[in-house]
Each structure stands twice: as structure tokens, then as C-alpha cells.
Amino acid sequence: MTEIKLDIQPNVLLRDYTTMKVGGKADELVVAHSTVELVQAISYALEHKLPYFILGGGSNVIISDRGFRGLVIKNEAREVLIDEQHSIVQADSGVPSGKVASMAASAGLSGAEYLFGIPGSIGGAVYGNAGLRGHETKDIVKDVVMMLVKDDGKPVIVKKSREWFEYQYRDSLLKQMSRNGDNNQRPVILTVRLQLYPARQEVIMERTREFLGHRRGGTIAGTDQQHAWQPTGLRCAGCIFRNPDPTDPERAAGKLLDMAGVKRMTVGGAAVAKEHANYIYNKNNATAQDLFTLIQQARAKVKAQADVDLALEVELVGEFDE
């Protein structure tokens, strides 16, 4: 492998790297501009026995005010290759999801238009099975090249097909491994291959408009129905809780939270959006602890009112006070 000198910076404030705009300092942070640098950064962490954490767009995390003890790797590996003959898009994991969607559209490939509506990186979308309006990342993943850390602490690069990920609604084996494992062994996605299909430009444009329309709100094209409310300009991390049963809109997390009376609740600078109870956001210089406390209070209200234990969709990184 080509020797590259990593630019490792000490004591970097993490709030600037997330959409929620909270979070203390990382002991060290490195920006990886390619998959080679990504591998080198992980190898550096393993060599120095440092916990490490991959940040894509930082759009699905709440990082503790105490920051992260170890190395944060900001993933900016951004190469995209298109195999038009086989309708495959191969993207480095740090490519913004919207860019994957636009490059696929330009190449006359359909199936990735929903990614226009999802902030963050394609690595983050594959990791968490990000989705929008019935479209999920699991439906287009063909295979993924990853770096796994074996039990003896040695890294290994492997290629895994979609089945390996055991995808579920907003969840994957990879996410479970990270949740249950430690920060010295987190699997890291290097590149992903998406299986799309050829379509006429008018069809792709129509579908693109649908998803961009969804993101902007307003009325669904050709109908008088309203799109579901979406946050624009809020310092947030998307939906806080997963829907307990994605097939039952009556038990959507937002609805349960609304019925439990959490709308407009606040803790410090953290608030529940008045438009949608599943959006807890940084309204006014919130701390990560404000957000965490509000999340706990909202969850407790749903438990008391509907006897449902809501699970987090957003990921908490670092330590919080219960």
C-alpha cells in the first residue's frame, strides 16, 4: 500500500461535524480522503490500541458533551464508478447519498432516487438501512467491501453480499455489531456496490421530483394530499426513535409520542418539534445532555401512556448521565 502521512489533529471539537451541532472534543481526529487513508487511519487506531469511530455526514448521531476518547475518522472517501453495462454504481463509503443519487440519475439508472431525500454518506445509509417512503437501502445494496477486526485484533478486508447484513427496518447486522461490540473493533464500510436498473430520463426525473418534494413538504404531485412534515433548517439528526411496527402507521413513533403529549416539551436548549413529535432538536444552544434528558423523558411518557418501549434510531456516542 502507498505510504500516506495521515494528518491527525488533537482535541477537535466534534459539534462542527454533526447536523445536531452538539458534542465535545475527540482526543484525535483525522479526515480520510480515500479508502486507502480510511484503512490507514483504522490501522493507526488498532496499532495504538485506540478506540475509533467513523463519522460520515454526522446526520444520525448525538455525540456526548464529553466527546470521544480515541480517534474519530471523518470519512471523505468520495470516488464513484459507474458500470452502465451492468447498471451498477460503485461508491466509496464517504460519498454523500445525494451525490450517489445524482450520479446514478445522470447515467440513466433508476432505484436510488430516494437517496436525494437522505442526508449523510452512503456508508451511513448502508450501515443503518436508511430509507424513505417505502424505499430502503437494503433494496439496492449488491455487495460491500468492509474492514473487519478479527478476535486477535488483526484487521481483514472482506467483501460481503447483501444477505450478510441481515437487514431489518433501519437496522443491520453491522449496526448490531457496533451496538454490542466495543469501539476497538467497529467494522468499517469501505466501498459499496448498488444494483440499479436502466430507465428513461423522464421516469427518473419524475421520481426525483417526488423525493425532493417529500423533503420540502407541500402537496404530493397530482394529488391534494400533504407530504409528511420534514425538518428543514433544524439542527437535528432525523427521527429520534424507530417506529415499533413499520407496517402499522397507527403505532408510528411520532404518533405514540404525540399521544403521550411530548410535543413542544423542552429541556434546556433541546426541544420537541411542534410539527412532528419524533423530531427532537437543538433549538437554542442545547447540550448533548439536554437532548439525552429530553429523549429519556419522551420515552418514559410513551411507556407510561402506551406501554411501548421506543428504541432509538439515532445513535448516542460517548457518555451521558442517566
Ligand X SMILES: Cc1cc2nc3c(=O)[nH]c(=O)nc-3n(C[C@H](O)[C@H](O)[C@H](O)COP(=O)(O)OP(=O)(O)OC[C@H]3O[C@@H](n4cnc5c(N)ncnc54)[C@H](O)[C@@H]3O)c2cc1C
Contact pattern for ligand X over residues 163 through 182, marking x by CB under 6 A: ---------------x----
Does the footprint of ligand X cover residue 112 (CB under 6 A)?
A: no
Does the footprint of ligand X cover residue 318 (CB under 6 A)?
A: no
Does the footprint of ligand X cover residue 286 (CB under 6 A)?
A: no
Of 199 and 273, the one with the shorter C-beta distance to ligand X is 273
Of the residues 170, 186, 207, 235, only one is catalytic, namely 170
Catalytic residue flag (residue 239): yes
Is 211 in a helix, a strand, or coil?
Answer: helix
Contact 137, 114 (CB under 8 A): no
DSSP 95: S
Contacts of 1-4 spanning 24+ positions with Cβ under 8 A = 1/36, 1/39, 1/40, 2/36, 4/36, 4/37, 4/40
- The binder of ligand X chosen from 52, 116, 127, 281 (CB under 6 A): 127
Catalytic residue flag (residue 236): no
In the range 234-263, which residues lie near ligand X by CB under 6 A? 236-238
Does the footprint of ligand X cover residue 118 (CB under 6 A)?
A: yes
Our measurement of the distance from residue 203's CA atom to the centroid of its chain's CA atoms, rounded to an integer in Å, reads 27
In the range 43-82, which residues lie near ligand X by CB under 6 A? 53-61, 75
Does the footprint of ligand X cover residue 120 (CB under 6 A)?
A: yes
Residue where the block lists cell 428543514: 232
- As given in the structure block, the three cell numbers for residue 142 are 449488491
Of 64 and 75, the one with the shorter C-beta distance to ligand X is 75
- The binder of ligand X chosen from 124, 167, 208, 310 (CB under 6 A): 124
DSSP 152: T
Please report the DSSP string for 12-81 in residue order: EESGGGSSS----EEEEEEEE-SHHHHHHHHHHHHHTT--EEEESS--SEEE-TT-EEEEEEEE----EE
- How many residues bind ligand X (CB under 6 A)? The answer is 33
Active-site amino acid positions: 170, 239, 313
Residues near ligand X, by CB under 6 A: 19, 53-61, 75, 93, 117-121, 123-125, 127-128, 130-132, 178, 188-189, 231, 236-238, 315
